[in-house]
């Protein structure tokens, strides 16, 4: 999903209000406001990695697909001039063909916001690490965003977060996710409940945005506690990351990010990502954006020392609609692997 630059805004409220570009107010009375929003998003893809092993299924042909179509409701009620309560519900559905598939519950939460005391959010939402650090590179409609935490690690359910007020551009964020040990067999293992934590610090000064974050990504594979919504990074624990973005011109910004997995699990796959260095930029040409990123990725095993995926995209916007085209190269090598470019073209309508 394409997100606007974070330079002119702080991360406060990002947990409560994502990049919702269109919304219609359906109720606004006595301090309570309710908006409805959504999008229909279709894409055609062709290419990408193809396993050429005997019996492998074809995945690289052209395909018309739904691309994250959704709708949702957000509500806000002002208790006084400083304090307000908010809630949000969002649902994803498959819009490209008739089907009976159930809708997916996406970010849904409630909370309390104060300009003087900060914001508390409870429920199902993206991790504070993602919001502050890795989301700078989440600019693609389809493939192209790579991170050790794409929002679900240690989050998206049974989670409590706090974001401080902004102090001279500086803001702190902490969260904790509850992992219940219920429903595990008694006596077979440690069935106690536990938690997984994350934290981030962001700073905005004029055209510069800086952020650092940590996500515990707690491994509970050896105990009865489990993730209800979201997950840990299967390769290990202790994700560390730093990121920066600078608005060089009113229509041009560049971004940089480094992430590292601090502790690797004994059973981690050799192809699991250990470190990611990312570099990218976005140029607004007036009617839309041109955006590109390149990655240098190191892996847990020695079979692949590193590789360099890259992506580039362009969109043309005529609100409330946009069309887009993107190319992604996963830069995968190996026996019986066809590493072809993935091409995506699509159209999106926001309401």
35: left (phi over 0), alpha (psi -120 to 50) or beta: beta
Task: Provide the CATH number for the domain around residue 81.
Answer: 2.40.160.10
Residue 179 is encoded by which pair of tokens?
């992992």
Cα-Cα-Cα-Cα dihedral of 347, 66, 105, 198, to 10°?
-70
Domain extent, residue 286, equals 24-350
In this structure, are residues 234 and 272 in contact, taking their beta carbons and an 8 Å threshold?
yes
Q: How far apart, in whole angstroms, are the C-alpha atoms of residue 182 and residue 191?
A: 7
Residue 262 is assigned to a structural domain of this protein = yes
Q: How far is CA 96 from CA 14, 40, 43, in A?
A: 29, 9, 9
Sign of torsion over alpha carbons 263, 265, 268, 270: positive
Residue 44 is encoded by which pair of tokens?
């055609």
Beta strands in 139-251 (DSSP E): 159-163, 170-179, 194-205, 208-215, 236-249
Q: How far apart, in whole angstroms, are the C-alpha atoms of residue 148 and residue 214?
A: 11
What pLDDT digit, counting tens, does each position of 217-250 carry?
999 888 878 898 888 998 889 999 999 999 999 9
Q: How far apart, in whole angstroms, are the C-alpha atoms of residue 236 and residue 220?
A: 11
pLDDT of residue 305: 66
Q: How far apart, in whole angstroms, are the C-alpha atoms of residue 351 and residue 21?
A: 8
Token pair 């006084």 in the structure block, residue: 80
Residue 115 is assigned to a structural domain of this protein = yes
pLDDT of residue 159: 96
- Establish how many alpha carbons lie within 13 A of residue 40's alpha carbon, considering only the half-sphere containing its beta carbon: 6
CA 138 to chain centre: 7
pLDDT of residue 201: 98
| Secondary structure class of 136 (helix, strand, coil) | helix
**Strand 63-66 vs strand 194-205: parallel, antiparallel, or unpaired?**
unpaired
Overall domain count for the chain = 1
pLDDT of residue 59: 83
Q: Where are the alpha helices (DSSP H) in 149-208?
A: none
Residue 141 is assigned to a structural domain of this protein = yes
Residue 12 is assigned to a structural domain of this protein = no
Residue 105 is assigned to a structural domain of this protein = yes
Sequence-distant (≥ 6) Cβ neighbours of residue 344 within 8 angstroms: 43, 44, 45, 141, 142, 143, 313, 324, 325, 326, 327, 328
pLDDT of residue 308: 93
Residue 9 is assigned to a structural domain of this protein = no
Q: What pTM was computed for the model? A: 0.90
Token pair 């706090």 in the structure block, residue: 162
Residue 47 is assigned to a structural domain of this protein = yes
Residue 2 is assigned to a structural domain of this protein = no
pLDDT of residue 2: 38
Sequence-distant (≥ 6) Cβ neighbours of residue 85 within 8 angstroms: 76, 77, 79, 110, 111, 112, 113
- Each of the 351 residues of the chain gets a pLDDT tens digit; together they read 333 344 433 443 444 444 455 788 998 888 899 999 999 999 999 998 888 888 888 888 899 999 999 999 999 999 998 999 999 999 999 999 988 888 999 999 999 999 999 999 999 999 999 999 999 999 999 999 999 999 999 999 999 999 999 999 999 999 999 998 888 788 777 788 899 999 999 999 999 999 999 999 999 888 878 898 888 998 889 999 999 999 999 999 999 999 999 988 888 888 889 999 999 999 999 999 999 999 999 988 777 667 899 999 999 999 899 999 999 999 887 677 788 999 999 999 999
User: Residue 114: is it exposed, middle or buried by C-beta count within 10 angstroms (0-12/13-18/19+)?
Assistant: middle
């Amino acid at each position: 999903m394409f997100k606007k630059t974070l330079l002119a805004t702080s991360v406060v409220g990002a947990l409560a209000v994502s990049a919702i570009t269109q919304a219609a107010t359906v109720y606004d009375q006595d301090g309570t406001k309710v908006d409805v929003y959504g999008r229909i998003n279709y894409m055609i893809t062709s290419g990408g990695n193809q396993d050429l092993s005997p019996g492998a299924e074809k995945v690289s042909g052209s395909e018309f697909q739904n691309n994250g179509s959704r709708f949702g409701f957000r509500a806000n009620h002002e208790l006084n001039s400083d304090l307000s309560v908010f809630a949000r519900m969002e649902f994803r559905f498959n819009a490209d063909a008739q089907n009976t598939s159930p809708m997916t519950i996406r970010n849904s939460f409630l909370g309390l916001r104060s300009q003087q005391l900060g914001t508390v959010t409870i429920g199902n939402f993206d991790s504070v690490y993602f919001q502050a650090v890795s989301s700078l590179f989440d600019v693609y409609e389809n493939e192209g965003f790579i991170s050790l935490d794409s929002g679900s690690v240690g989050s998206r359910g049974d989670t409590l977060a706090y974001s401080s007020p902004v102090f001279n551009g500086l803001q702190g964020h902490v969260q904790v996710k509850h992992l219940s040990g219920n429903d595990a067999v008694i006596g077979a293992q440690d069935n106690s409940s536990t938690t997984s934590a994350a934290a981030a610090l962001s700073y905005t000064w004029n055209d510069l945005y800086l952020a650092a974050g940590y996500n515990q990504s707690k491994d509970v594979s050896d105990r009865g506690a489990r993730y209800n919504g979201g997950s840990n990074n299967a390769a290990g624990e202790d994700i560390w990351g730093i990121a920066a973005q600078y608005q060089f011109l009113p229509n041009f910004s560049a971004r940089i990010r480094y992430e590292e997995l601090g502790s690797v699990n004994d059973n981690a796959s050799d192809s699991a990502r250990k470190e990611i260095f990312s570099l990218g930029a976005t140029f607004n040409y007036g009617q839309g954006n041109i955006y590109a990123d390149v990655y240098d990725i190191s892996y847990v095993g020695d079979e692949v020392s590193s590789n360099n995926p890259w992506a580039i995209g362009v969109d043309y916007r005529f609100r409330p609609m946009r069309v887009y085209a993107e190319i992604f190269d996963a830069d995968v090598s190996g026996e019986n692997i066809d590493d072809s470019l993935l091409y995506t073209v699509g159209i999106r309508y926001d309401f």
